Chain A
Amino acid sequence: QQPVQSPQAVILREGEDAVINCSSSKALYSVHWYRQKHGEAPVFLMILLKGGEQKGHDKISASFNEKKQQSSLYLTASQLSYSGTYFCGTETGGGGNKLTFGTGTQLKVEL
Chain B
Amino acid sequence: GAVVSQHPSWVICKSGTSVKIECRSLDFQATTMFWYRQFPKQSLMLMATSNEGSKATYEQGVEKDKFLINHASLTLSTLTVTSAHPEDSSFYICSAKDGTYEQYFGPGTRLTVT
Q: Tell me if A65 counts as interface (CB < 8 A to partner B).
A: no
Quick one: closest A residue to B1, CB to CB? A44
With a cutoff of 8 Å between Cβ atoms, the chain B residues found around residue A34 in the complex are 105
Point out the residue from B32, B102, B104, B107 that lies within 8 Å of A40, measured CB to CB.
B107
A101 and B45 within 8 A (CB): yes
Quick one: closest A residue to B6, CB to CB? A41
Count of A-B contacts judged by CB separation below 8 Å = 52
B43 and A104 within 8 A (CB): yes
- Chain A interface size band reads 20 to 34
With a cutoff of 8 Å between Cβ atoms, the chain B residues found around residue A47 in the complex are 101-102
Taking the closest CB of chain A, its distance from the CB of B10, in whole angstroms, is: 10
- Chain B interface size band reads 20 to 34
B49 and A102 within 8 A (CB): no
Q: Tell me if B46 counts as interface (CB < 8 A to partner A).
A: yes
A84 to B45, CA, bound (A): 18
A44 and B102 within 8 A (CB): yes
Interface residues of B (CB under 8 A from A): 31-32, 34, 36, 42-46, 49, 91, 93, 97, 99, 101-108, 110
**5 closest cross-chain pairs (CB), A and B:** A41-B105, A101-B44, A101-B43, A41-B108, A41-B107
9 A-B pairs besides A2-B43, A41-B106, A42-B105 with CB distance below 8 A are: A30-B101, A32-B101, A32-B103, A42-B93, A89-B44, A98-B49, A99-B34, A99-B46, A99-B103
